Chains A and B, each alone.
Chain A
Amino acid sequence: MAKSTYKFIRPEDVRRLSNYEFGVKALVEGFLSGRHRSKERGASIEFSEYRQYVPGDDLALVDWRVFARTERHYLKTFEQETNMECHIFLDSSASMGFQEEAPLTKLEYASFFAACLSWLVISKNDRVSLQLFDEKIRKFFEPGSTRRHLHNLLTALEHNEPGERTSIAEALHRAHPLIKRKGTLVVLSDFFDDPEAIFKALNPYLHRGFRVHLFHVLDPAEITLPERGLSRFIDMENDDSIVVHPESLRETWKSEIQNHIQTLRRLSAGRQVDYSLAPTDQSWFHLFDRLA
């Protein structure tokens, strides 16, 4: 029995999301003919292009009118409209449980966004999958577009807790064989990982034609360091500790974190990956603008 209310999707969110579109410009491959354009050529009324015949092509696709005029064999191809698949990667490592200056932990913030995105995708009869990972994939939900599937996703998000260490690259690498069709890849993480390794793991997806969105979820205190005196900082993922006076390191920290963001941004731009910083003190709705 589906629940009437969910933690990470609220009635006001639903009302607001009804005005949003998802992936209208995306080219997808799907089971059903739908409203999204597909790179797969097929029976459709939407003309795509002419190309020369090569042996093995379906002769039925040869445009004989063109042959009559030019005595050359051209095939007339049409774009096939199909349904879209959205694959959400939600980082659930221990560091995502951090909260200092924002009202939500990073995991809660990302979960709200993931829930809304899932609702939006399913509401458009598209399919959505969900991977909850830390250094391994803790939960994987096959793409689906039913209300039952949505219920399962939302329930999984509600029961999700910060786990152990982060390894985005490892999680992407392991998830690759599980995702059969290309679509939109949405990664929600704090990206406290090696950027080179992350993008190396994204390469197979990009090669398959995935549209990739990276949402860099950070608490404002992680951007500027928290306001406190001399403290022993204990790593939430591996219990390493270090005695630091934040005041004395603040400027250096700001500089370092900006460097890290710039590196992610630069690498994203080089691979036509969409990168967006998502501070947890701002509404997650503006992230949908990146997905339009």
Chain B
Amino acid sequence: MQFLLANSSWLWLLAFGAVPVLVHLFARSNPQKYAFSNTAFLQRIIKKTARLKKPQDWLMLLLRTLAVMALLFAFLQPLLTSKGEIETGKKTTIFIIDRSASMAAKDGNTDRFSLACQKAGELLKSATSDDANIIWMDYLPEGVFPQPGPNLDYLRDLLTRSEVSREAGAPSSAIQTAISQLELVKGRRELVIISDFQSSAWQEFKIETPKGIDLVKVRVGEATIENLSLQSLFASPAEPVIGQNVTIIARVKNFSATPSRTTLFLESGGSRQSKELNIPAWGEAEANFQTEFTNAGLVPMTARISGDNFPGDDSRHTIVQVRDALQFVSVAPADSPGASVLGRLADSLDWLEHRTTASLPPAGSCDFLFIHDWSGKAAPLQLHTEAGTTVFAKPALGITHASLNEFLGTKLTNSTAKLAPVRNETSGWKARISTNSNPDSPVFALFKSGEFGSPAAGIFKARFALPALPETTSYLDYQDGTPALVSSKSSLRFLWNLPLDNRETTWPGQSAFVPFLAELLLNSRASGKATSLEVLPGGPIAWIPDDGISPESLTLETASETVIETEIVMTEQGPRLLSKSPAKPGVYHWKMSNGIVHQQDVNFPASESDLRLSNPDQIEGGEVVDPASLLRRAALGDGIPFWHWLIATALACLLIESLVSLWMPKPAPASAA
């Protein structure tokens, strides 16, 4: 038989049990004074009745104290459990405890995770003869034991030592792990999910458990906590070249019903900039910082906002890869005059390297690809554009409308019609900025002042008779309206209808040729193309070092030079270095002989910043239990509440006390005097 208090947090109430005793003693020690004519009689009477009165007094005090104590105990909701005596079979409980970053939010003085651990600890304490296990719900949920076990002391101890992670939670994976463990055991089985049921993770979630597994949902956390979150930090372009104007963009989101104001700081290479931001309620604000880089390499950047109720997401990191040159590849015969023109163009630009190949290079190996005699096959080019390479295609003879449709996404009819080459050897054609072009396009920003002349100055003697190309973006066209340079809506595929051979055009000799192509190339780069250096929190920090770097010579360190243990795993691409512990937000350096050879960054999961809670009732499956009544519910499963007996005891004590107080001792017989 076990004695359990469901409201053990109210244990302090028992101190009020001393009240009747104190009242008794205090009232006896200092009652109101009353001048009376003669107390000798009273003394005599009391002497006669003391033998009766004193036990009566003590009995009444005892009854009053018992009544008060019984009432107070009733408030504590005591339960008698029969564990250990009438065991009907072992019960196996698996606790899924949400350890995701949102559980660090504080409702008052206690964070949600601590509360969850406390509740799980109380339940474990009350389940001394059961098997149990804990599954931490974070980025990669895992159980403490491979199977539920009887070592509950270890689990309880673990609960007191555990800390919330700064990772996103994976509820599906955690539940699946728990169910797979429970399916292997017999007897009563219970799955208890203790979480804040964050809206972003649990909305429209459905929990399906096999028959025979009781599901209990316990929500910790009471209300939405207002939060300002630094949601993203990135550079545009993502991989700038030296000297290129770069915009560093930071976005801050306000997860509250009231507008907010904050200061955003950007730290990069020892420099620090700041901007004030006004963020509307449930809205987002963006801060742009203009900068340029003088050296190639990896540049870590950190943005911060002023602290708020939930500090985990108040900083964010990014690593910008600054390139020394962009790769421009011409696919053409070795003696192609057009490729030669582009080679000369690259020679005049420091940040551009050009080479000519006879066949398509591997996807992703260059930034720009110019197909000088495009045969009309769009599919091979798809891989390049997907890898972030900007493709320019100058059609060869025999290209059909169908090829154009496939390449540009346009919708030309008569798909079998072929493009017809036309020449005008006498006067040629003149080209211009397309009348359909976007006047605000950065490609032409340089030419707005007229200082650089027309970007398409010169005479063009050969071209294809292209029809109007709907669903495309026009840059240049001929004066008769024939498209000269158009791109698909994605802007990564350009159809080039301009001759580059000096025998067919005077354009490459014009002063505007180089600046126009430079602007075209820089502004047509895929803005998102970047080698991802970000690692998701909770996962391992991994890197395959370049050839020539010995993996054994590398160490992984945090920005504060704390060494992180790593291990080497062999892969098809070569030896891969992995951190042994899960990644936490911050910047990490791979070092060799104290020199940084590579950097990676880990950021707070943006999805965890929205601290709105969902109602566990709306999540399909299982029973919702209030944290306060969790222990009571567990005990009720096996025990008996006897608070009503205590109330009855209190009433009985009060009744007897009334009877005792009404009963007066008979006066002693009169003295002979």
Question: Which A residues are closer than 8 A to B by beta carbons?
Answer: 95-96, 98, 106, 190, 192, 194-196, 219, 222, 226, 228-237, 240-244, 248-249, 251-253, 255-257, 259-260, 263
Which of A196, A222, A229 contacts B37 (CB under 8 A)? A222
Asked if B275 lies at the interface with its beta carbon under 8 angstroms from chain A, I say no
Cβ of B154 under 8 Å from chain A: no
A95 touching B34 in the complex, CB below 8 Å, given contacts A195-B673, A248-B664: no
How far, in whole Å, are A244 and B32 apart by their CA atoms in the complex? Answer: 10
Give, as a whole number of angstroms, the nearest-CB distance from A222 to chain B. Answer: 6
- Is there a chain A Cβ closer than 8 Å to B185's Cβ? no
Give the number of residues in B that approach A within 8 Å (Cβ atoms): 28
Q: Which of A98, A240, A256, A263 contacts B45 (CB 8 A)?
A: A256
Interface membership of B41, Cβ < 8 A: yes
Q: List A contacts of B28 (CB < 8 A).
A: 230, 243
Using CB atoms, name the residue of chain B closest to A192: B38
In Å, the complex CA distance between A233 and B35 comes to 6
Tell me the bound Cα distance from A231 to B30 in angstroms: 9
Q: How far is the CA of A248 from the CA of B27 in the complex (A)?
A: 15
* Contacting residues, chain B, for A222 (C-beta < 8 A): 37-38
Interface residues of B in 39-85 (CB under 8 A from A): 39-46, 48-49, 53
Whether A252 touches B27, Cβ cut-off 8 Å, given contacts A196-B673, A222-B37, A263-B673, is no
Q: Would you call the interface of chain B mostly helix, strand, loop, or mixed? A: mixed
- CB–CB A192/B49 < 8 A: no
Q: Cβ of B667 < 8 Å from any Cβ of A?
A: yes
Give complex CA distance A260, B42 in Å. Answer: 13
Additional pairs, 16, CB under 8 Å, beyond known A242-B46, A244-B46, A251-B667: A96-B37, A98-B35, A98-B36, A231-B31, A231-B34, A232-B31, A235-B38, A235-B39, A235-B40, A240-B43, A242-B43, A243-B31, A244-B42, A252-B665, A255-B667, A257-B41
Residue B573, interface by CB 8 Å: no
**17 A-B contact pairs sorted by A residue (CB < 8 Å):** A98-B37, A190-B38, A222-B38, A226-B34, A228-B34, A231-B33, A234-B39, A240-B40, A241-B33, A241-B39, A242-B39, A242-B42, A252-B45, A252-B667, A253-B41, A259-B670, A259-B671
A192-B40, A248-B664 known; A232+B34 contact, CB < 8 A: yes
Residue of B nearest to A249 (CB): B45
Residues of B639-673 at the interface with A, using a CB-CB cut-off of 8 Å, are 664-665, 667-668, 670-671, 673
Residue of A nearest to B48 (CB): A252
Q: Which 6 A-B pairs have the closest CB atoms?
A: A98-B37, A95-B37, A252-B667, A259-B670, A235-B39, A231-B34
Residues of B within 8 A of A255 (CB): 667, 670
Given contacts A242-B46, A249-B49, A259-B670, contact A233 B34 (CB under 8 A): yes
* Pair B39/A249 contact, Cβ less than 8 Å: no
CA distance A171 to B39 in the complex (A): 22
Q: Write out the residue numbers on chain A whose beta carbons fall within 8 Å of the beta carbon of B670.
A: 255-256, 259
Residues of chain B within 8 A (CB-CB) of A234 are: 33-36, 39
Shortest C-beta distance, A258 to chain B (Å), equals 8
Whether the Cβ atoms of A233 and B664 lie closer than 8 Å is no
Chain B residues closer than 8 Å to A243, beta-carbon distance: 28, 31
Task: Name the CB-closest residue of A to B45.
Answer: A252
Most chain A CB inside 10 Å of its own CB: which residue of B27, B41, B53, B668:
B41
A135 to chain B minimum Cβ distance, whole angstroms, is 14
Query: Are A236 and B37 neighbours in the complex by a CB distance under 8 Å?
Result: yes
Give min CB distance, B171 to chain A, whole Å: 66
User: In the complex, what residues of B have CB within 8 A of residue A226's CB?
Assistant: 34, 36
**Contact among B31, B37, B40, B49 with A230 in the assembled complex (CB-CB below 8 Å):** B31
Cα A230 to Cα B28 with chains together (Å): 8
Q: Which of A96, A236, A252, A253 has the most CB of B within 10 A?
A: A252
B46 contacts across to A, CB distance below 8 A: 242, 244, 249
CB proximity of A175 to chain B, nearest CB, Å: 23
Instruction: Determine the chain A residues whose CB is within 8 A of the CB of B40 once the complex forms.
Output: 192, 235, 240
Judge whether B27 and A249 touch: CB under 8 Å.
no
> Which residues of the partner chain A approach B38 to less than 8 Å between Cβ atoms?
95, 190, 192, 222, 235-237
Contact A248 B37 (CB under 8 A): no
* Complex Cα–Cα for A79 and B452 (A): 169
Whether the Cβ atoms of B34 and A190 lie closer than 8 Å is no
Q: Which residue of B lies closest to A259 (CB)?
A: B670
**B673 contacts across to A, CB distance below 8 A:** 194-196, 263
Q: Which residues of B contact A230 (CB under 8 A)?
A: 27-28, 31-32
Cα distance A256–B49 in the bound complex, in angstroms: 12
- A contact residues around B665 at 8 Å (CB): 252
Counting chain A CB atoms within 10 Å of each CB, which of B28, B35, B44, B671 scores highest?
B35
Other-chain residue from B37, B53, B664 in contact with A190 (beta carbon distance below 8 A): B37
When distances are taken between beta carbons in the complex, the residues of chain B under 8 Å from A233 are: 34, 36, 39, 42
Return chain B residues, CB-CB under 8 Å to A235.
36-40
Quick one: closest B residue to A255, CB to CB? B667
Q: Which residue of A lies closest to B27 (CB)?
A: A230
Complex: chain B residue closest to A262, CB-CB:
B670
Roughly how many angstroms separate A233 CA and B53 CA in the complex, as a whole number?
A: 18
Q: Which residue of B lies closest to A233 (CB)?
A: B36
In the bound assembly, the distance between CA atoms of A255 and B671 in angstroms comes to 11
Question: With the chains together, A219 CA to B671 CA distance in Å?
Answer: 23
Contact, CB under 8 Å: B36 / A229 = no
Shortest Cβ distance from residue A107 to the other chain B in the assembled complex, whole angstroms: 11
> Beta-carbon contacts of B437-472 to A below 8 Å, as 1s and 0s?
000000000000000000000000000000000000
A205 to chain B, nearest CB (A): 22
A190 to B41, CA, bound (A): 13
